[in-house]
């Protein structure tokens, strides 16, 4: 069965420190991988995606993510956290062989708190 795991419900970091939000996945084929962010009482906003090519993907707001095929991981990173990065982060995956059904499999989310 396809699944996405975000092992940490909450991540706390100090402003200015690097942050990592973890994601591992399980799909039958090769995946498309996504990160979305959700601010309070808002819809989800796309951050970045991995399709193919370079394993390090750069996205919005200074975020990046590294695809690791052997570890089936797609961890979200940022070199220097801002208080405004505090939000809920979701990892999602789609099997690239899914055809017309573009259903994303979503993780349960990780709440990031950046402390001033």
Partner 1 sequence: EAEVAQSPRYKITEKSQAVAFWCDPISGHATLYWYRQILGQGPELLVQFQDESVVDDSQLPKDRFSAERLKGVDSTLKIQPAELGDSAMYLCASSSEGDVYNEQFFGPGTRLTVL
Q: Which residues bind partner 1 (CB under 8 A)?
A: 32, 34, 36, 41-46, 49, 51, 90, 94, 100-104, 106-109
Q: Give the residues across from 20 on adjacent strands.
A: 77
In this complex, which beta carbon is closest to partner 1, that of residue 49 or of residue 77?
49
Helix (H) or strand (E) holding 52: none
The full DSSP string for 52-64 is SS-SEEE-GGG-E
Output the smallest distance, CB 78 to partner 1, in A. 20
Output the smallest distance, CB 90 to partner 1, in A. 6
Q: Give the residues across from 32 on adjacent strands.
A: 94
In this complex, which beta carbon is closest to partner 1, that of residue 82 or of residue 104?
104
Output the smallest distance, CB 61 to partner 1, in A. 16
In this complex, which beta carbon is closest to partner 1, that of residue 45 or of residue 55?
45
In this complex, which beta carbon is closest to partner 1, that of residue 32 or of residue 75?
32
Task: Give the β-pairing of 10-14 and 110-115.
Answer: parallel
Residues in contact with 53: Cβ distance below 8 Å, sequence separation at least 6, in sequence order: none
């Amino acid at each position: 069965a396809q699944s996405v795991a975000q092992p940490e419900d909450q991540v706390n970091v100090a402003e200015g420190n690097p942050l990592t939000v973890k994601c591992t996945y399980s799909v039958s084929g090769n995946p498309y991988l996504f990160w979305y962010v959700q601010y309070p009482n808002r819809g989800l906003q796309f951050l970045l995606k991995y399709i193919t090519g370079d394993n390090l993907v750069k996205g919005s707001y200074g975020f990046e993510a590294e695809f690791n095929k052997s570890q089936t991981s797609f961890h979200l990173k940022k070199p220097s956290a801002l208080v405004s990065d505090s939000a809920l982060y979701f990892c999602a995956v789609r099997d690239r062989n899914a055809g017309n059904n573009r259903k994303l499999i979503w993780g349960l989310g990780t709440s990031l708190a950046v402390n001033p």
